[in-house]
Structure 1
Amino acid sequence: MTNDEIKKMEDRQVPHGRIDLIGCGRLGLRIGINLMQVHRGGPKTIGAFDGQKIDGGDVIFTLLGAKTGQNKPDFIKQLCTHKKEFREVLSHPEYITDENLDLIEGDVVIIVIAGGNTIPTAAKIIKHAHERGAKTIGTAGIFGYGNENIEIKDISEYDDTNPAIEELRKQGITENHLVLTTNKLIRDNEPVTPYTLDEVAKIITMNALKLLDDRI
């Protein structure tokens, strides 16, 4: 293989498309960092959405240099040190509502929002993304000590034993949406450990990149 042939192949492996990250908490931060570090491909643009500010309990943020009171999407943008023409993070320090759904423009949309009943909001985001032809990934319980069997497959492939998935189905999300779960929910009274979050972030990142390449 000649240098010119290698150069042509390298030129094709450049960042492309957009991945939107809805939720920039402990899991979203990990996914955002993973996406930033992808080489020879990955997203050209990462949209980061979250209305929450960093507080003293956000240890992974403060370990990386965040300041208390800083908007979480702004901090993810701060961590992206690429040249803008190579990869850019767009910070949206706000929660997704019916009024701002149109801000979501990703080819792939990752939904990792938490706190309270987030399923109605997630369903609206998924429907909006699908109307645009985008691919979606979300979670349905990621509790556990760290040695759980993590599943990821289309929502249509799950049985009826996970109440979070069943609630999404009641909201009209029955196919074409990837769901990741440890099959442990808040009712199981187990923690969410950093080990689980690391593994979940890895799996979501890998699948988001595959969906991006399929979409473009």
Structure 2
Amino acid sequence: MEDEIQKMEDRQVPRGRIDLIGCGRLGLRIAINLMQVHRGGPKTIGAFDGQKIDGGDVIFTLYGAETGQYKPDFIKQLCTHDEEFRNIISYPEFIDDENIDLIEGDVVIIVIAGGNTIPTASKIIKYAHERGAKTIGTAGIFGFGNEDIEIKDISEYDDNNPAVEELRKEGIIKNHLVLTTNKLIRDNEPVTPYTLDEVAKIITMNALKLLRDQNEKNSNS
């Protein structure tokens, strides 16, 4: 019996890699969730963002960040695991055509914000899919906090979400999980911390499921 338990425990160790593209208010929450996963989860987390922390990044300063520090560097600083158990790799830069090959995750989470992020997100998704990785992104997470949060494959959405439609115009039509509150910047509603908490929880859960599937596929290949 003890041998069987040991075998099961041996299977539930961190394996694989999740890349987090965007380390802002949402990305930080997801990163912290992933760091705390026990009995599984990613061995490596790649954190990508070229932005530095400023005075408006309250959740960062609450956790002890210093103004001017790169966000991925701070995420790495927060991780107190032994690197042999779980490792954070910090990439303090924005993804573009020159460095997109730094993305190596089995699962890629895209939570970049500010301006029109669709062209960059679509390039990342296409690159990840070419590598055989799974992807998750958002399409509007505005709202006061009582919205129904949806997450499903992009092929399952109707044509009422402009962000989903823009991704489709870029050629992203299937095999990409999209989360949304169905509220966008046009709706003149805020992005609340409790919505971000819930969105981060749902993205984390789905990323872990995808990682498990990827790890099983890699083990059987």
TM-score, length of structure 2 as denominator length? 0.97
Matches of 1:178 and 1:3, distance apart in 2: 39
Measure, in 2, the Cα distance between the counterparts of 1:42 and 1:113.
22
Q: Deviations over 1:69-118 (max 9, x none)?
A: 00000000000110010000000000000110000000000000000000
- Give the letter aligned to residue 162 of structure 2: P
Q: Distance in 2 between matches of 1:170 and 1:159?
A: 14
CA distance in 1, matches of 2:89, 2:147: 33
Per the alignment, residue 27 of structure 1 pairs with 26
SS in 1 for 2:97: coil
Give runs of aligned pairs for residues 1-216 of structure 1, distance below 5 A.
Answer: 2-216=1-215
> Could you tell me how far apart the structure 2 residues matched to 1:10 and 1:41 are?
9
Does the residue aligned with 2:152 lie in a helix, a strand or coil?
Answer: strand
1:155-198 deviations in Å (ceiling 9; x for gaps): 00000000000000000000000000000000000000000000
What's the offset of the Cα at 1:210? Answer: 0.3
Q: Which amino acid aligns with 2:155?
A: S
Structure 1 residue 8 displacement after superposition: 1.4
Paired AA for residue 206 in structure 1: M
Cα displacement (A) at 1:212: 0.4
SS at match of 1:38: coil
The residue identity in structure 1 corresponding to 2:31 is G
Letter in 1 for 2:118: I
Instruction: Give distance in 2, aligned partners of 1:9 and 1:189.
Output: 50
Structure 2's unaligned 5+ residue stretches are 216-221
Deviation at 1:7?
A: 1.3
Q: CA RMSD in A?
A: 0.4
What 5-or-longer segments of structure 1 have no aligned partner? Answer: none
Give the percent of matched residue pairs that are identical in Structure 1 and Structure 2. 87
> 3-state SS of the aligned residue for 1:153?
strand
Instruction: Supply the distance in 1 between the matched residues of 2:210 and 2:141 (Cα, whole angstroms).
Output: 21
Partners of 1:52 and 1:170 lie apart in 2 by 28
TM, length-normalised to structure 1: 0.99
